[in-house]
Amino acid sequence: MRATKLMSGLSSGVALAVLALTPLFASAATTTTTGPGTSSSNLTTVSDGYAATSTGNAEAQTNAEFTVSPGSLTLNQVPNIALGSVSVKSIATGSPNLPLVAGNTTGGAGYDGNGNSDVNVTDYRGDHAGWTLTVGMGPFTSGTATVSSASLALDVSKGATDNTSTSAPMTLNLTQGTTTSGWISSPQTVWNADANTGEGSNTATAEPTSSLTLGKQPTITAGTYDATLYWALQNAPAAAPASSTTTP
């Protein structure tokens, strides 16, 4: 015990005086605070303080403390997908492939996208829970005209991430889906941050290698066609698919 150290080499009378100034130590069963003092016997309750002698120091331990307040998981940027033009003849006679082009879209019902191909998710919650970003594509329409078959190869590459362990986004093949209650019925995971990854700022880019393939449609109507992309950020990583097991 530290009280023994303080009394070493002292006469019995001096030792008793030092002991009177040293906090009484609670037993291991009742001690709730570490250090020379206890929660009930410490420098704030011993009026004369701890004694320093020629054979022992007066020692004390204090605390430093701060609080880190949690923030939010936010979806900050998602891209519009501008594609090249195509002729009626190309769609009526074949299955053309339209590349991603620089610039922004000019119409459509979605107003949240940017024309820079940027994706950004920030996670400042401080719980390391991970997250999932999904996307789905609605049908291409121009007024009452529709495209019977369209498939978007969406190639999203990883940019800067504060946690370098965060995995890269996935390359998807999005087909025209149906909407229920204003949302796409079959979204796909485009970016998954497992637990203990995805913290801080996470950037990605829709690459020029992305493209749209249209199915052959002799009845195609001329016009500008728009489809809505539905992006959703979920505050937990996607569950890993169950692995198959063989029963002997």
Identify the band that residue 242 occupies on the pLDDT scale cut at 50, 70 and 90: low
Q: Is the pLDDT of residue 42 over 90?
A: no
State both tokens at 39: 């929660």
Q: Is the pLDDT of residue 106 over 90?
A: yes
Q: Which of 49 and 15 is assigned the larger pLDDT?
A: 49
CA atoms lying within 13 Å on the CB side of residue 34: 1
The confidence score (pLDDT) of residue 48 equals 77
Please give the model's pTM, rounded to 2 decimal places.
0.80
Least confident stretch, 197-201, 224-228, 240-244:
240-244
The confidence score (pLDDT) of residue 4 equals 38
Q: Is the pLDDT of residue 115 over 60?
A: yes
Q: Is the pLDDT of residue 13 over 60?
A: no
The mean pLDDT of 228-239, rounded to a whole number, is 94
Long-range contacts: 221-226, Cβ < 8 Å, 24+? 221/142, 221/145, 222/88, 223/142, 223/143, 223/145, 224/106, 224/107, 224/142, 225/140, 225/141, 225/142, 225/145, 225/147, 226/105, 226/107, 226/108, 226/109, 226/140, 226/141, 226/142
Quote the percentage of the chain above a pLDDT of 70.
82
Identify the band that residue 61 occupies on the pLDDT scale cut at 50, 70 and 90: confident
Q: Which of 23 and 89 is assigned the larger pLDDT?
A: 89
pLDDT tens string 122-155: 999 999 999 999 999 999 999 999 999 999 999 9
Mean pLDDT, rounded, of the chain: 86
The confidence score (pLDDT) of residue 44 equals 87
Q: Which domains does the chain have, with CATH numbers?
A: 1-65 (no CATH), 73-234 (2.60.40)
